[in-house]
Chains A and B, each alone.
Chain A
Amino acid sequence: NAGVTQTPKFQVLKTGQSMTLQCAQDMNHEYMSWYRQDPGMGLRLIHYSVGAGITDQGEVPNGYNVSRSTTEDFPLRLLSAAPSQTSVYFCASRYGQGGGYTFGSGTRLTVV
């Protein structure tokens, strides 16, 4: 049981490049979400999904896209990376009401 798996763990991008942060869970969780963590800011919700085919925006969605074609996977896409997107990104999932979120180990992204 791997839990929530995020890849890659580290990434350096140049401004304007695109990339996809991968998130996969093997717990059959309905709910998945993406957060970014910046120093002194805590974690902020980017996008979330309440099931396959259903996604919505969180607090800081600008510059990010998501899709949820399967229960297991919830990739986060940066279409045109900007230095302001330098951050640590966490993916999380939970089963349903009454369940706490399980977090992945994070992706540290640097945009130069």
Chain B
Amino acid sequence: AQSVTQPDIHITVSEGASLELRCNYSYGATPYLFWYVQSPGQGLQLLLKYFSGDTLVQGIKGFEAEFKRSQSSFNLRKPSVHWSDAAEYFCAVQAPYSGGGADGLTFGKGTHLIIQP
């Protein structure tokens, strides 16, 4: 069974500082990889996704993520955070397409990002 680990439950970053949120996955092959953001009381918004190809993926709101196959990781980064980035961040995986059958996402437990002024 696939699983996703986000080692950091909470991270505090000063506004303007750089950010890296960690994500490790366990799966027999390379899954499809996603990062979502959730603001309080809101639904989930897709930041970026990786299916194949270039291992550095650009997303919305200035975020990027790098897929490292050797480390089974898909870490999210941002060069300079803004107070509006304070939210819950979820890493998720999906089994690659196999001609039908299983679907759905497996999520990590999330990282709560706090921005200090």
Binary flags per residue of A33-69, CB closer than 8 Å to B gives 1, else 0: 1010000111111001110000010110000000000
A43 engages B49 (CB within 8 Å): no
A104 engages B105 (CB within 8 Å): no
Binary flags per residue of A50-94, CB closer than 8 Å to B gives 1, else 0: 100000101100000000000000000000000000000010100
B106 engages A50 (CB within 8 Å): no
Bound-state CA distance A40–B36 (Å) is: 16
Given the contacts A33-B103, A50-B101, A98-B51, A103 and B109 also touching, CB distance less than 8 Å: no
A contacts with B: majority SS: strand
A42 engages B104 (CB within 8 Å): no
Give the interface of B toward A (CB within 8 A): 4, 9, 34, 36, 42-46, 49, 51, 90, 92, 97, 100-110
Give me 5 other A-B pairs in contact (C-beta within 8 A), A48-B103, A101-B105 excluded: A42-B4, A45-B105, A48-B104, A103-B44, A104-B43
Give the interface of A toward B (CB within 8 A): 31, 33, 35, 40-45, 48-50, 56, 58-59, 90, 92, 97-98, 100-106
Provide 30 A-B residue pairs closer than 8 Å at the C-beta atoms, listed in order of the A residue.
A31-B103, A33-B105, A35-B107, A40-B109, A41-B109, A42-B90, A42-B107, A42-B108, A43-B90, A43-B92, A43-B105, A43-B107, A48-B102, A48-B104, A49-B103, A50-B100, A50-B101, A50-B103, A56-B101, A56-B102, A59-B106, A90-B43, A92-B44, A97-B97, A100-B34, A100-B46, A101-B34, A103-B45, A104-B43, A105-B43
